[in-house]
Amino acid sequence: VYPLVADFSNWKKWSAWTEMEPSAKVEISGTPMQPGHLWAWEGEQLGKGQMKISEAKVNESLATAMAFFKPMEATALCNWKFESVEKGTKVTWSYEAEANYPLGRVFG
C-alpha cells in the first residue's frame, strides 16, 4: 500500500481528486517515496496547489506539506501511518490545517 501513497504518480489509480477532474494539469517531480517528491496540480474544479513529502519512513509513515494557491491560499500538513494487520494494511490519514472563523469552521 505504501507505494500507492508515497509515489504521487500512483495517485491517479485511486485519488478522488484526479477522478473529480481528470483533465487537471498535474506535474510530478522529485524522487518517489523520498522527501522533496512533489505533486502540483491546477484545474478548474481543483484549483491550484501542491503537496510535497517532508518525511518518509518506508511502510511506516509519511508526512506531507500542502500549499493551496487558488481559489484561496492555505497550508496544511498530512500524516499517513501504515500498520500491518491480518490480511492487509491499516492506513490512517490525518489532516491538520488552520480553520479561520467563521467559514473555516463550517468547512471543517
DSSP 8-state symbol, 34: S
Phi, psi of 25 (to 5 degrees): -75, 130
Kindly state the cell numbers that stand for 63. Answer: 508526512
55: left (phi over 0), alpha (psi -120 to 50) or beta: beta
Task: Indicate the pLDDT class of residue 103, thresholds 50, 70 and 90.
Answer: low
Tens digit of pLDDT for each residue in 25-84?
999 999 999 999 999 999 999 999 999 999 999 999 999 999 999 988 889 999 999 999
Beta strands in 15-73 (DSSP E): 25-29, 38-43, 47-57, 61-70
Task: Indicate the pLDDT class of residue 18, thresholds 50, 70 and 90.
Answer: confident
Q: Could you identify the residue written with the cell 490480511? A: 87
The span from the CA of 13 to the CA of 36, in Å, is 21
Q: Give the pLDDT confidence score for residue 72 in this predicted structure.
A: 85
How much is the CA Rg of the chain, to the nearest whole Å?
A: 14
Task: Indicate the pLDDT class of residue 98, thresholds 50, 70 and 90.
Answer: confident
Amino acid at 35: P
Task: Indicate the pLDDT class of residue 102, thresholds 50, 70 and 90.
Answer: low
